[in-house]
Structure 1
């Protein structure tokens, strides 16, 4: 009786059934926002922001474009993921625990160093709305709360943050500037004062750091005076 019921059929081993199931639909999603962000930053690092396309991102992730669109709807969404990831790497840990000047120094140096590694994103991120960017909004909330506690007038807090960011983004570019950026070439004889100043400044091993520290301390001092 048992033989007649199984005639012409074969019950697959448990391991074979498991293998077949895996070949169809995986148990866990093969994509998440972390993987998408990492792949996007890799592409941008090689090709710049204009080189990032949804089709290229899907290829980098080795998935169909339709799978990608289950997580993001457009290139702008990918950019927001990249922005939020980079901002999450900025150090705001001293705000609320140390004097605002000290916290702002650590924040600014960290902010510059993060974006010096991703300068191709600065022109886009600098003007990107922070809508649906939780890490970015959390950073702004942390800095705002500390500035308010330090006595910054409420109507000047956002302007102060923008002043920091404008300086930070420009300084991030300076980190990656070529060594010969100020070479005068055939017009060297017409710029004796600038040439002398340039020569004197070359004693600094890291001129981008020297310039950043000079500007940052001037900005902090100016804001501190406004609180008096």
Structure 2
């Protein structure tokens, strides 16, 4: 039996490892699971290592800090935002598709919004790719270069806030016992519940209140920004 033991051990080493190979994709998925379960404050390197069932030293072989983990998460989320409309579509349509996609991605990961919203894009290739595509779309539409980033930030501020609204309680505007003190507000809330609004693309169909509000605000932003662009000096193209 002793002579057979080394052969058995050799066969074990040649097979699959007991756990999936650690890499950026697995670390990112685990980080998202951890944040969904425990919130952003629950994302620590030690907690992430435990969830991955690896020693902290093994984790540090792939990411040097929590900041690196956040960059992986940021890139993963931004890669899911649809930027295809900026390749050839009209500016209004491209911004509309991008914004709806952006909101929907972050509505599924609201604990990360306060972090991602202020996280530098440095060394996040998918994030930079997204911003480059959007910037190129603005540039092609004749936007002055000095106004492009401000317009994107204005849209993002609305998008992030609207992502929170997707998960708001259904009765968030229920005044309860104070309804008699706010009759106009109460009536407006009741009218909202029985109405319909615009979904992606502006089509009229019954949608959730958060979709209605987002569609209304987004169209106003798009039209308002376009009007501002028309008043600005024309961008000079090379």
Whether TM-score is above 0.5 comes out as: yes
CA distance in 1, matches of 2:75, 2:68: 11
Counting matched residue pairs gives: 219
Equivalent in the alignment of 2:235? none
Runs ≥4 residues deviating over 4 A: 10-15
Question: How far off its partner does 1:96 sit?
Answer: 2.3
Gaps of 5+ in 2: 196-206, 231-238
Equivalent in the alignment of 2:163? 172
CA distance in 2, matches of 1:148, 1:133: 22
Where 2:87 maps in the other structure, the secondary structure is: coil
Q: Deviations over 1:88-142 (max 9, x none)?
A: 0000011021011101111000000000000000011101111111111110011
Moved more, 178-187 or 86-95: 178-187
Question: How far off its partner does 1:11 sit?
Answer: 6.0
Question: How far off its partner does 1:190 sit?
Answer: 1.2
Residue pairs, 1:38-49, within 5 angstroms: 38-49=29-40
Residue pairs, 1:26-105, within 5 angstroms: 30-105=21-96
CA distance in 2, matches of 1:127, 1:39: 22
Equivalent in the alignment of 1:208? 210
- From 138, 150, 154, give the equivalent of 1:159: 150
Question: How far off its partner does 1:16 sit?
Answer: 2.6
Residue pairs, 1:125-164, within 5 angstroms: 125-164=116-155
The TM-score with structure 1 as length reference comes to 0.89
CA distance in 2, matches of 1:15, 1:84: 44
Cα RMSD after superposing both structures: 2.2
Where 1:80 maps in the other structure, the secondary structure is: helix
The TM-score with structure 2 as length reference comes to 0.86
Which of these two proteins has the greater Rg computed from alpha carbons? 1
Q: Deviations over 1:77-97 (max 9, x none)?
A: 111111110000000011021
Q: Deviations over 1:40-78 (max 9, x none)?
A: 000101111001111111111111010000011111111
Gaps of 5+ in 1: 1-9
Moved more, 172-181 or 70-79: 70-79
